[in-house]
Amino acid sequence: MAASSSACGPGSDAAAQRATAPRPPPSAAVVAPTAATPAAAPRDEDLLYLEEVNGERALAFAKAHDAVSEKELTSAPGFRALEERLFRIYSSKDRIPAPSVQHDVVRNFWTDADHPRGLWRQTTFADYRKAAPTWTTLIDVDALGKAEGESFVYHGSSCLPPLRKKCLVRLSRGGGDAEIVREYDVEKKAFVAGGFVLPEAKSRVAWKDENTVFVGTDFGPGSLTKSGYPRIAKEWKRGTPLASASTVFEAKESDVSGGCYRDFSHDQKRDVCYRSIDFEHSEQHLFRGGKLVRIDKPEDADVDLWDDEILLRLRSEWTVGTPRATYPKGALLAAKLEPFLRGERTFQVLFMPTLRSSLADFAGTKTRLYVNALTDVKNEVTVFARRPGDASPKRWVGTPLDTKVASIGVVPFEADRSDDVWLWLEDFAVPTSLALRAAAAKKEEVIKQNPAFFDATGVQVTQHFATSKDGTKIPYFEVAKGARSAPAPTILDAYGGFEISITPHYAASAGAAWLERGGVYVQANLRGGGEYGPAWHEAAMKEKRQNAYDDMAAVAEDLVRRGVTTPKQLGIVGASNGGLLTSVMLTQRPEMFGAVVSKVPLTDMRRYHQLLAGASWMSEFGNPDDPKEWEAIAKYSPLHNVRRDAKYPPMFFTTSTKDDRVHPAHARKMVAKLEALGHQPLYYENIEGGHGGAADIKQRAYVDALVYTFFATRLGLPLAAR
């Protein structure tokens, strides 16, 4: 898919003639109303059966609608060719194998046509540098699932420093957030008999030493937060039953989650416990002398420990210290840890935000910090090093990285042993490159590069700014072939939430499915995201949420004003919070769009906080049980703003039965209510996939082909590639 983010919380279009589509049979518990027999608008309680994830009626609803959507979209000329094209891209053996340097080896998780669920594998660094490395397979996920009769999806591993030979491997059944954890011995290439094993749950587990882990999981009643995540951290010894693990830390039931881990960086062994109060607020504690010592910092400040330093990223202005100093929201501060714990508040500012720039992230290596900023949604990196022997507040010296590309991702080569970093470099029409920057030589070497997955001849990338309802300038990128004599079918993609920044990326699927055929792809950077720092996020939180929707409308209007497209040719797509965005646009501004796609969306904002992880998002959207806050939410809640007399554009909702983050009932309910009021949305529910909507690259290619086909046939783009 193009790049719809899919994360509710701090995360990638297509079509046919909707009016002639067959409707779900009565067995789906839904009958489309007709002009002669109008149906009453369903009450919220009438739709509760759709919250039963695997309930008989709910699954019948999903299967009946899947049959309708699949029959219509897969029969469109060019669908199969597009699906195959996307699968070739996703499974290409010429893709960059993302490296993770683990002591003396490079590890990688890899999927291709022969291994759609993937291989966890390793090789030497010298071999990795070759065009065709020789890999040693550690786990074949497809084979493992077949042997055990499970639909496993690999969710990663955590390996014990410094040798990283013992690993905790996370496996999901079908792609949901809940995982099985098993200990794996890399040298023996086998799971450890009698090793650490956790049953399926949304667990948190981290190494303390070779024979001890910190674990948070579902220990029974009272052990989870209202959001469904662990709140209790226990210390679990090898060879003992999980039930005997001793509690070391507890968060509150109202928190998002809590847990503990050991910080091994720079040969440290610091034990840290944390409360994630919500997505913006947290507490951190250090174990000192057998006691928990709280790190005294603003609750909304992010904290990192690096070597003997503490790093704080502020979300609100902070006045502190003697003499008093005021630091702005969005700043990155550095201080020596021990003096800070004693109460000193003397900082060096490593990043100072401006109206046009914000902190994207930072990464620590052996002796350096790489600070990655966004200026008008384009990355700029500064490398900081400490003056030898200097412990003063001015000890850090920064040098800008002279790399000119829109998107730069910085990943330490091996943080504890090297100052080298991997640089991931890309732009919308520039295939991704992986360069190794040698810190000592201060130069970069391209190690791997993706092929061009689509013909970008004539494709231009331009940035524009729309004016929102309150006068705020909203940036957006336009990607299209340069010479156009008339408005063109356009896909507008956005997210706008949880302080997540959506940056330029190589649009392989959008290029192959859309740009090559003369379509326009647009990525908008709405308020609610993090593109301009905490204030940009705060401008669309809770009662200010409408700002994000006004921003989206402003971009759509600007595209029409500039002659890029017309309302009938403009489609919008978003996933998760972005799916909420597009669902709101459907109900608020239906006249502006020719097609709407909402993927794994939120739609029922009256009950979102009672469904799966929804309680963890109340700091973002507000509390529907508070009458004042519900008054603001009710004005945009898609499910509660669907109207019988509205003229809605063609719409397509997708979700996954296995999504245990955003409940599939959100999409189910929206579709059911639309149909009851006489509208005809398309709906596809993938049985697997989790919050990403697909469990493997085959499913991903299929779902993406459905969406792009929906857009193409609704917006008037030829399905045959040019």
Choice among 115, 505, 679, 691 that is catalytic = 691
d(CA 661, CA 155): 15
Choice among 4, 576, 583, 598 that is catalytic = 576
d(CA 250, CA 258): 7
Fill in the amino acid letter for 455: D
CB atoms under 10 Å from CB of 577, counted, come to 30
Cis peptide before 33 (omega within 30 of 0): no
Paired strand residues for 294: 285
d(CA 365, CA 368): 5
Q: Give the three-class secondary structure for 565.
A: coil
Cis peptide before 323 (omega within 30 of 0): yes
Active site (annotated) includes residue 203: no
- The secondary structure of residue 498, as a DSSP letter, is T
Paired strand residues for 108: 121
d(CA 337, CA 320): 16
d(CA 570, CA 715): 7
Strand order in the sheet with 302-306: 302-306, 309-313, 332-336, 348-351
Q: Tell me if 522 sits within 8 A of 476, measured CB to CB.
A: yes
* CB-facing half-sphere around the CA of 270: CA atoms within 13 A: 21
Q: Is 645 exposed, middle or buried (0-12, 13-18, 19+ CB in 10 A)?
A: exposed
Phi, psi of 160 (to 5 degrees): -70, 120
Q: Residue 505: which of 595, 405, 609 has the closest Cα?
A: 405
Q: Give the three-class secondary structure for 692.
A: helix
Residue 8: both structure tokens together: 């509710």
Q: Tell me if 3 sits within 8 A of 511, measured CB to CB.
A: no
Active site (annotated) includes residue 576: yes
Paired strand residues for 285: 273, 294
Work out the end-to-end distance of the chain between its first and last CA atoms, rounded to an integer number of angstroms: 19
- The secondary structure of residue 504, as a DSSP letter, is -
- Distance, CA of 340 to chain centre: 33
For strand 270-276 and strand 257-263, is the pairing parallel, antiparallel, or unpaired?
A: antiparallel
Q: Tell me if 632 sits within 8 A of 545, measured CB to CB.
A: yes
Q: Tell me if 471 sits within 8 A of 526, measured CB to CB.
A: no
d(CA 344, CA 386): 20
Residue 359: both structure tokens together: 């902190």
Q: Tell me if 256 sits within 8 A of 242, measured CB to CB.
A: no
Q: Output the CA torsion sign for 498, 525, 302, 233.
A: positive
> Please, what is the angle between helix 79-90 and helix 56-74, to 10°?
110
d(CA 57, CA 176): 22
CA angle 432, 435, 438 (to 5 degrees): 165
Active site positions, annotated: 576, 691
